[in-house]
């Protein structure tokens, strides 16, 4: 049976970068015999315009039945005044929630050609390849009680960090599985020195390790120290696993080690389906970039790399994923840059479609 891929381009630059991903998918189908059953549907403002809500029930069903979902971006000024319940972002949140995507994977990879694009020294980030696994569906963003309450004469704002053993164990398993396919190292980050939920986090990660993954090297670090180490010497890490709040911050820090928002892919994974593959949603980290939408300036690489993550984590096509990454590195090494990657002294930027075409041509050269 062909692999089922549901494509949701969304709004703004979403459809523009997704057009380039389609070229890459077509190339792999024609030249490498990868059989995908690709279906395209609406999400975000694009879905609201047609259905009056940011994700139709039929689209949700298709997402549940797909081997992987690839999303562009949602949102834009046109939708800013909509009621909260039908805002474009709600479409994305519904996908994450109903697919129960609890493990958010954010790689930080330094492409050789962009090693001097970083604000850090070249020897600190050259060759960097780490993965942050952030718990995405629990923790302080969801815990009860929450709210702003009156206490005597003043207001108090309350949020609750709450994790069950099961929630910690399942994201820990995702991290250990990933590490086994990489360099076999996991660093777990929490604040066990000041938070009970952190003590439980540390204990459960250690227990899952000892019982199921004793072959993986496990270390623990306080999340604030982890932030320092990420900037000081990021290459000490392979896989980092952490909670929703710390992961939100640490993954943004890690993202900027290497450069532009236009280069950053992500994956959100859930429990294994009947075929053994995890439920999965792949998307670039960036949003719909209304300031450049329609100008041909969007960098399609973040979305193309998100498809690369789908090749690796949903479809088991490791060689093809590696080929795609090499092609992107080679195109950058040729000096091709979209506007977001321009540095002093660079030549003219290439457009969104020129970048997509160059990557496809390079795939042909390298294959």
Smaller CB separation from ligand NAI, 89 or 329: 89
- Active-site choice (100, 129, 224, 329): 224
CA distance 36 to 315: 10
334 carries an active-site annotation: no
Smaller CB separation from ligand NAI, 75 or 198: 75
Residue 241 binds: one of ligand NAI, Mg ion, none (C-beta under 5 to 8 A by kind): none
224 carries an active-site annotation: yes
123 carries an active-site annotation: no
Q: Which residue is nearest to ligand NAI, using beta carbons? A: 287
- Asked whether residue 193 is marked as a ligand-binding residue, the answer is no
CA distance 313 to 316: 6
Q: Which residues fall within 8 angstroms of residue 89, CB to CB, at 6 or more apart?
A: 44, 54, 74, 75
User: Which one of the spans 79-87, 117-125, 172-180, 245-253 is the region binding Mg ion (CB under 5 A)?
Assistant: 245-253
- Active-site choice (215, 252, 319, 334): 252
Whole-number minimum distance, CB 255 to ligand NAI, in Å? 11
252 carries an active-site annotation: yes
Name the residue with tokens 């979305």.
303
Smaller CB separation from ligand NAI, 204 or 341: 341
Contact between 248 and Mg ion (CB under 5 A)? yes
203 carries an active-site annotation: no
Whole-number minimum distance, CB 249 to Mg ion, in Å? 7
CA dist list (Å): 196 to 71, 176, 185: 36, 23, 25
CA dist list (Å): 328 to 27, 242, 308, 353, 358: 14, 29, 11, 14, 9
Helices marked H in the chain: 14-32, 45-51, 57-65, 88-98, 122-125, 165-180, 196-212, 223-232, 244-258, 301-313, 318-333, 352-366
Number of continuous H segments (helices) and E segments (strands) in the chain = 12, 12
Number of residues lying near Mg ion (CB under 5 A): 2
CA distance 295 to 229: 39
- Active-site choice (62, 129, 141, 329): 141
Whole-number minimum distance, CB 30 to ligand NAI, in Å? 26
The contact set with Mg ion (CB under 5 A) reads 248, 252
| Binding site per annotation, positions | 76-89, 96, 106, 134, 224, 248, 252, 287-299
Question: Which residues are catalytic, by number?
Answer: 141, 191, 224, 248, 252
């Amino acid at each position: 049976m062909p692999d089922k891929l549901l494509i949701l381009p969304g709004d703004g630059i979403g459809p523009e970068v997704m057009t380039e991903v389609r070229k890459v998918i077509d190339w792999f189908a024609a030249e490498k015999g990868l059989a995908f059953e690709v279906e395209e549907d609406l999400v975000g403002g694009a879905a609201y315009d047609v259905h009056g809500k940011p994700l139709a029930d039929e689209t949700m069903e298709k997402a549940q039945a797909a081997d992987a979902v690839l999303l562009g971006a949602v949102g834009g000024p046109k939708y800013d005044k909509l009621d909260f319940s039908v805002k474009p972002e709600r479409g994305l949140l519904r996908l994450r929630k109903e697919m129960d995507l609890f493990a958010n994977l954010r790689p930080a990879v330094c492409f050789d050609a962009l090693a001097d694009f970083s604000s850090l020294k070249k020897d600190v980030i050259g060759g960097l390849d780490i993965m942050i696994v952030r718990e995405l569906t629990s923790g302080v963003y969801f815990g009860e009680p929450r709210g702003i309450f009156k206490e005597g004469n003043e207001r108090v704002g309350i949020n609750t960090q709450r994790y069950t053993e099961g929630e910690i164990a399942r994201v820990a398993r995702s991290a250990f599985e990933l590490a086994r396919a990489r360099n076999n190292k996991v660093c777990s980050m929490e604040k066990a020195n000041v938070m009970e939920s952190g003590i439980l986090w540390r204990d459960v990660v250690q227990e899952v390790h000892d019982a199921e993954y004793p072959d993986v090297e496990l270390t623990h670090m306080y999340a604030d120290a982890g932030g320092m180490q990420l900037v000081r010497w990021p290459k000490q890490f392979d896989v980092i696993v952490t909670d929703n709040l710390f992961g939100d911050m640490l993954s943004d820090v890690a993202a900027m080690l290497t450069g532009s928002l236009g280069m950053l892919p992500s994956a959100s994974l859930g429990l294994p389906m009947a075929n053994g593959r995890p439920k999965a949603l792949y998307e670039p980290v960036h949003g719909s970039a209304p300031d450049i939408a329609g100008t041909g300036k969007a960098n399609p690489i973040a979305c193309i790399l998100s498809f690369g993550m789908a090749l690796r984590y949903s479809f088991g096509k490791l060689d093809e994923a590696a080929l795609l990454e090499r092609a992107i590195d080679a195109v950058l090494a040729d000096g091709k840059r979209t506007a977001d990657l321009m540095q002093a002294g660079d030549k003219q930027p290439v457009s969104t479609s020129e970048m997509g075409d160059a990557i496809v041509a390079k795939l042909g050269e390298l294959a």
